[in-house]
Every structure is written in structure tokens, then in C-alpha cells.
Amino acid sequence: MRGLLRKIRALGRVAEPAPARSAGLPPQRALAGSVQVRCVDAGSCNGCEIEIGQAFGPVYDADRYGVRLVASPRHADVLAVTGPVTRNMAVALKRTFAATPEPRLVVAVGDCAIGCGEFAGGYGVVGGVDEVVPVDLRVPGCPPEPEAIVAALRQVTGR
């Protein structure tokens, strides 16, 4: 315990200073200052999941803008969908979207979610996320950097 305490004191703050907020999406009055995110892996290679994990880690600290990951779509305001939508996940994605109370937004994270990326034309793939549920925000990249994910989520919280 003393070792951990010494490490806490030596390390201090790991979170990087907050960059300026980029304007983009029209502000969502109802979601101001607080956004709960449910991640849906619709068939991704898990590269985007690693980057989302980093975005909520101590260095990028998406928590400080009022963004939080939740365990249930019923608690969520934003669905962060990754990967090309596979045939098996299409129904699950639709149901998850229906289980999310309004107002709700869908963020397509990564090139695969936006337009199938590497997997375009694959036999097991239905298409990009917007072919299954309406997409409000897109975060390009393969995988997108944590800064880009945080910047997109900050457009929703407005913080």
C-alpha cells in the first residue's frame, strides 16, 4: 500500500491538458454536460475498441467532459458503433438502437463503421453503420486516434 501511495504522489496528474473544443454538431440541449456511451462492436477487429479504451483512460480522460461508459443501452445517450456491420450483428444493432431512450445519437467510430473499410464487399458484411441505423457523427481513421474520439464526444456534451 505504501508503494502505491508513493507512486500516486510521484506520478501526479497523467491527464493531458484539455485541448480547445472543436465546434461541429449543433448543440444538443438535452444532453448538455452529461453523455453516457454504450459501445457496440458490430464486427470490428478490436482496433477501435483499444482506442476507445485509451480515450477513457487517465491520459485522454474523456470522463472530465462528462462522458461515461455504461453497461446498458437503456442507460445510454450515445451508441458508439465500431466495425462493419456483420450479418449476425445487424439485428442486434437494431435492437440496441431501439432499446436506447430518446434523445439518442449514433457515433460511427472508425473507417469500417463509416464505409466498411477493409471489409467492403465481404460476404459476411451488411454494410456501414448508416445502412442499419441513422448515424449522427463520424470519426474516421483506421483506427481513429483517441483525441479524435474524445473530440467527437465533446461535440455532444458541449464541454
Partner 1 sequence: MSGTMVTGTTTTGAGIAVSVLQVALTVVGAPLLVGMMRQVRARMEGRAGAGVGQPWRDLRKLMRKKPLDPHGTGPVFRTAPLIQVATTLMVAAAIPFVSVDTGVGEAADLIAVVALLTLGTAALALAGLDTGTAFGGMGASREMTITALAEPTVLMAAFALSTRVGSTNLPAIVDAGLKDAGRVVSPVSVLAAFALAAVVLAEAGRLPVDNPSTHLELTMVHEAMVLEYSGPDLALVELAAAMRLSVLLGLWSALFLPWGTATSTGVLAVLGATALFVVKVGVLGAVLAAGEVFMAKLRLFRVPELLAGSFLLAVLAVAASFFLE
Residue 91 engages partner 1 in binding (rule: CB under 8 A):
no
- Interface with partner 1 includes 20 (CB under 8 A)? no
Site membership for partner 1, residue 119 (CB under 8 A): no
Strands 35-41 and 85-86 turn out to be unpaired
Counting contacts by CB under 8 A, is residue 92 touching partner 1? no
Establish if 53 lies at the interface with partner 1 (CB under 8 A): no
Q: Dump strand ranges (E) for 78-146.
A: 78-82, 85-86, 105-109, 125-127, 137-139
Residues 6+ apart with CB under 8 A from 24: 137, 155
Contact 91, 109 (CB under 8 A): no
Piece in contact with partner 1 (CB under 8 A), picked from 25-33, 89-97, 109-117, 133-141: 25-33
Please state the length of the chain: 159
Q: Which range touches partner 1 (CB under 8 A), out of 9-17, 85-93, 114-122, 134-142?
A: 9-17
Q: Could you list the residues that contact partner 1 (CB under 8 A)?
A: 1, 4-5, 8, 11-15, 18, 30-36, 58, 61, 63-66, 68-72, 74-75, 77, 99, 101-103
